[in-house]
Structure 1
Amino acid sequence: MKYLLMICGDESAAEHANDGCGGWSEEMEQRGVVRGGAGLAPPTDATTVRVRDDNLLLTDGPFAETKEMIGGFVLIECADLDEAIEIAAKHPAAGYGTIEIRPVIDGPPPEAH
Protein backbone atom coordinates (compact mmCIF):
# COMPACT_ATOMS: atom_id res chain seq x y z
CA MET A 1 0.00 0.00 0.00
CA LYS A 2 1.07 3.56 -0.66
CA TYR A 3 0.66 6.26 1.96
CA LEU A 4 1.29 9.98 1.94
CA LEU A 5 2.92 11.34 5.08
CA MET A 6 2.09 15.03 5.41
CA ILE A 7 4.59 16.72 7.71
CA CYS A 8 2.80 19.50 9.63
CA GLY A 9 3.86 22.06 12.21
CA ASP A 10 3.39 25.62 13.34
CA GLU A 11 5.78 28.53 12.77
CA SER A 12 8.22 27.13 15.35
CA ALA A 13 8.63 24.00 13.18
CA ALA A 14 10.56 26.13 10.69
CA GLU A 15 13.45 26.12 13.18
CA HIS A 16 13.77 22.36 12.60
CA ALA A 17 13.61 22.53 8.80
CA ASN A 18 17.37 22.78 8.40
CA ASP A 19 18.09 20.08 11.00
CA GLY A 20 17.53 17.33 8.45
CA CYS A 21 15.89 14.08 9.38
CA GLY A 22 18.57 12.70 11.68
CA GLY A 23 19.17 9.54 9.65
CA TRP A 24 15.47 8.82 9.07
CA SER A 25 15.72 9.35 5.30
CA GLU A 26 18.73 7.08 5.00
CA GLU A 27 17.07 4.33 7.07
CA MET A 28 13.87 4.50 5.01
CA GLU A 29 15.83 4.49 1.73
CA GLN A 30 17.66 1.36 2.92
CA ARG A 31 14.32 -0.26 3.79
CA GLY A 32 13.12 0.62 0.29
CA VAL A 33 9.87 2.29 1.40
CA VAL A 34 10.37 5.86 0.13
CA ARG A 35 8.81 6.61 -3.26
CA GLY A 36 9.25 10.40 -3.22
CA GLY A 37 8.89 13.51 -1.17
CA ALA A 38 9.97 17.10 -0.70
CA GLY A 39 9.85 20.09 1.57
CA LEU A 40 7.43 22.87 0.69
CA ALA A 41 7.79 26.65 0.53
CA PRO A 42 5.88 28.50 3.26
CA PRO A 43 2.12 29.08 2.94
CA THR A 44 2.77 32.75 2.18
CA ASP A 45 4.08 31.55 -1.21
CA ALA A 46 0.93 29.54 -1.95
CA THR A 47 -1.63 30.28 -4.64
CA THR A 48 -5.13 28.89 -4.18
CA VAL A 49 -7.16 28.08 -7.33
CA ARG A 50 -10.94 27.81 -7.51
CA VAL A 51 -13.32 27.73 -10.46
CA ARG A 52 -16.90 28.84 -9.75
CA ASP A 53 -19.47 29.34 -12.52
CA ASP A 54 -16.66 29.17 -15.09
CA ASN A 55 -14.79 31.99 -13.31
CA LEU A 56 -11.18 31.44 -12.26
CA LEU A 57 -10.61 32.71 -8.73
CA LEU A 58 -7.01 33.03 -7.54
CA THR A 59 -6.03 33.82 -3.98
CA ASP A 60 -2.54 34.47 -2.67
CA GLY A 61 -1.75 32.38 0.36
CA PRO A 62 -3.13 29.16 1.80
CA PHE A 63 -6.70 27.91 1.46
CA ALA A 64 -7.32 27.91 5.21
CA GLU A 65 -6.10 30.22 7.95
CA THR A 66 -4.56 27.93 10.52
CA LYS A 67 -1.57 27.85 12.85
CA GLU A 68 -0.41 24.50 11.48
CA MET A 69 0.93 24.21 7.96
CA ILE A 70 2.14 21.39 5.74
CA GLY A 71 5.90 21.81 5.54
CA GLY A 72 6.64 18.75 3.43
CA PHE A 73 5.53 15.31 2.37
CA VAL A 74 6.88 11.81 1.87
CA LEU A 75 5.30 9.14 -0.30
CA ILE A 76 5.95 5.67 1.10
CA GLU A 77 5.01 2.15 0.09
CA CYS A 78 4.74 -0.44 2.81
CA ALA A 79 2.76 -3.50 3.89
CA ASP A 80 -0.08 -1.84 5.82
CA LEU A 81 -1.18 1.03 8.05
CA ASP A 82 0.66 -0.43 11.05
CA GLU A 83 3.97 -0.19 9.18
CA ALA A 84 3.10 3.32 7.95
CA ILE A 85 2.48 4.38 11.56
CA GLU A 86 5.79 2.87 12.64
CA ILE A 87 7.60 4.74 9.84
CA ALA A 88 5.86 8.05 10.63
CA ALA A 89 6.56 7.71 14.35
CA LYS A 90 10.29 7.43 13.63
CA HIS A 91 10.32 10.73 11.66
CA PRO A 92 11.87 13.55 13.73
CA ALA A 93 8.92 15.85 12.90
CA ALA A 94 6.64 13.59 14.95
CA GLY A 95 8.49 14.95 18.01
CA TYR A 96 7.75 18.63 17.37
CA GLY A 97 4.82 18.64 14.93
CA THR A 98 2.25 16.31 13.45
CA ILE A 99 2.41 13.72 10.69
CA GLU A 100 -0.86 12.97 8.94
CA ILE A 101 -0.96 9.59 7.17
CA ARG A 102 -3.32 9.14 4.24
CA PRO A 103 -3.72 6.06 2.02
CA VAL A 104 -3.10 6.77 -1.66
CA ILE A 105 -5.89 5.61 -3.95
CA ASP A 106 -4.35 3.57 -6.76
CA GLY A 107 -6.43 3.25 -9.86
CA PRO A 108 -9.70 5.00 -10.56
CA PRO A 109 -11.30 6.75 -7.59
CA PRO A 110 -14.36 5.16 -6.01
CA GLU A 111 -17.66 6.32 -7.47
CA ALA A 112 -19.47 9.05 -5.58
CA HIS A 113 -22.98 8.23 -4.40
Structure 2
Amino acid sequence: GMRAVSGGTDTHLALIDLQGIGVTGAEAEARCDAARITLNKNAIPYDPQPPMVSSGIRVGTPAVTTQGLVETDMTAIADLIGRAVLDADGLHAADIQREVAALVARRPAYARP
Protein backbone atom coordinates (compact mmCIF):
# COMPACT_ATOMS: atom_id res chain seq x y z
CA GLY A 1 0.00 0.00 0.00
CA MET A 2 0.94 3.62 0.51
CA ARG A 3 3.46 4.27 3.28
CA ALA A 4 5.13 7.25 4.89
CA VAL A 5 8.77 7.18 3.80
CA SER A 6 10.09 7.78 7.32
CA GLY A 7 7.54 5.50 8.95
CA GLY A 8 5.56 8.54 10.10
CA THR A 9 6.05 12.23 10.75
CA ASP A 10 6.19 14.63 13.66
CA THR A 11 5.91 17.66 11.39
CA HIS A 12 3.36 19.24 9.09
CA LEU A 13 4.70 17.33 6.05
CA ALA A 14 4.60 13.69 5.01
CA LEU A 15 6.33 12.05 2.07
CA ILE A 16 4.30 9.08 0.88
CA ASP A 17 5.79 6.21 -1.15
CA LEU A 18 3.32 4.98 -3.79
CA GLN A 19 5.38 2.13 -5.24
CA GLY A 20 3.33 -0.45 -3.32
CA ILE A 21 0.18 0.46 -5.24
CA GLY A 22 1.76 0.91 -8.67
CA VAL A 23 0.79 4.57 -9.04
CA THR A 24 3.30 7.29 -9.91
CA GLY A 25 3.48 10.61 -8.13
CA ALA A 26 2.43 12.36 -11.34
CA GLU A 27 -0.65 10.13 -11.66
CA ALA A 28 -1.56 10.65 -8.00
CA GLU A 29 -1.16 14.42 -8.30
CA ALA A 30 -3.43 14.53 -11.37
CA ARG A 31 -6.07 12.29 -9.78
CA CYS A 32 -6.10 14.37 -6.61
CA ASP A 33 -6.32 17.58 -8.65
CA ALA A 34 -9.40 16.13 -10.38
CA ALA A 35 -10.91 15.55 -6.93
CA ARG A 36 -10.00 19.11 -5.79
CA ILE A 37 -7.29 17.89 -3.41
CA THR A 38 -4.01 19.77 -3.57
CA LEU A 39 -0.76 17.89 -3.09
CA ASN A 40 2.29 17.39 -5.24
CA LYS A 41 4.35 14.63 -6.74
CA ASN A 42 7.71 14.22 -5.04
CA ALA A 43 10.74 12.01 -5.48
CA ILE A 44 11.41 9.48 -2.74
CA PRO A 45 14.84 8.18 -1.69
CA TYR A 46 16.34 5.96 -4.42
CA ASP A 47 13.38 6.75 -6.66
CA PRO A 48 13.41 4.65 -9.84
CA GLN A 49 11.21 7.22 -11.63
CA PRO A 50 12.47 10.46 -13.17
CA PRO A 51 11.79 13.59 -11.07
CA MET A 52 8.89 14.80 -13.24
CA VAL A 53 7.14 11.46 -12.72
CA SER A 54 8.34 10.37 -9.24
CA SER A 55 7.17 7.54 -7.01
CA GLY A 56 5.83 9.65 -4.18
CA ILE A 57 3.62 12.49 -3.08
CA ARG A 58 4.18 15.20 -0.51
CA VAL A 59 1.23 16.03 1.72
CA GLY A 60 1.13 19.00 4.08
CA THR A 61 -1.30 20.12 6.75
CA PRO A 62 -0.76 23.92 7.05
CA ALA A 63 -3.69 24.88 4.80
CA VAL A 64 -6.23 22.69 6.57
CA THR A 65 -5.04 23.48 10.10
CA THR A 66 -5.11 27.20 9.30
CA GLN A 67 -8.69 26.65 8.20
CA GLY A 68 -9.46 25.08 11.57
CA LEU A 69 -9.60 21.41 10.73
CA VAL A 70 -8.33 19.18 13.52
CA GLU A 71 -6.63 15.82 13.99
CA THR A 72 -9.84 13.83 13.61
CA ASP A 73 -10.44 15.53 10.25
CA MET A 74 -7.05 14.27 9.06
CA THR A 75 -8.34 10.70 9.02
CA ALA A 76 -11.13 11.75 6.65
CA ILE A 77 -8.64 13.69 4.53
CA ALA A 78 -6.32 10.67 4.33
CA ASP A 79 -9.26 8.53 3.21
CA LEU A 80 -10.20 11.05 0.51
CA ILE A 81 -6.59 11.20 -0.72
CA GLY A 82 -6.37 7.40 -0.82
CA ARG A 83 -9.60 7.09 -2.76
CA ALA A 84 -8.55 9.79 -5.23
CA VAL A 85 -5.11 8.24 -5.78
CA LEU A 86 -6.70 4.87 -6.54
CA ASP A 87 -9.36 6.36 -8.87
CA ALA A 88 -7.54 5.46 -12.09
CA ASP A 89 -10.52 5.95 -14.39
CA GLY A 90 -11.76 9.14 -12.70
CA LEU A 91 -15.23 7.73 -12.14
CA HIS A 92 -15.27 8.78 -8.48
CA ALA A 93 -13.69 12.24 -8.78
CA ALA A 94 -17.03 14.09 -8.64
CA ASP A 95 -18.12 12.17 -5.52
CA ILE A 96 -14.80 12.87 -3.83
CA GLN A 97 -15.08 16.56 -4.81
CA ARG A 98 -18.45 16.74 -3.06
CA GLU A 99 -17.04 15.13 0.08
CA VAL A 100 -14.07 17.53 0.06
CA ALA A 101 -16.45 20.48 -0.31
CA ALA A 102 -18.62 19.24 2.57
CA LEU A 103 -15.58 18.76 4.81
CA VAL A 104 -14.17 22.24 4.27
CA ALA A 105 -17.59 23.93 4.34
CA ARG A 106 -17.82 23.14 8.05
CA ARG A 107 -14.93 25.55 8.62
CA PRO A 108 -14.83 28.21 5.89
CA ALA A 109 -11.34 29.59 5.24
CA TYR A 110 -12.48 33.20 5.37
CA ALA A 111 -15.44 33.08 7.71
CA ARG A 112 -16.76 36.34 9.07
CA PRO A 113 -16.95 36.53 12.87
Normalising by structure 2, what TM-score? 0.37
The structure whose Rg is larger is 1
Which structure shows the higher strand fraction?
1
Structure with more relative contact order (C-alpha pairs < 8 Å, separation 6 or more) = 1
Normalising by structure 1, what TM-score? 0.37
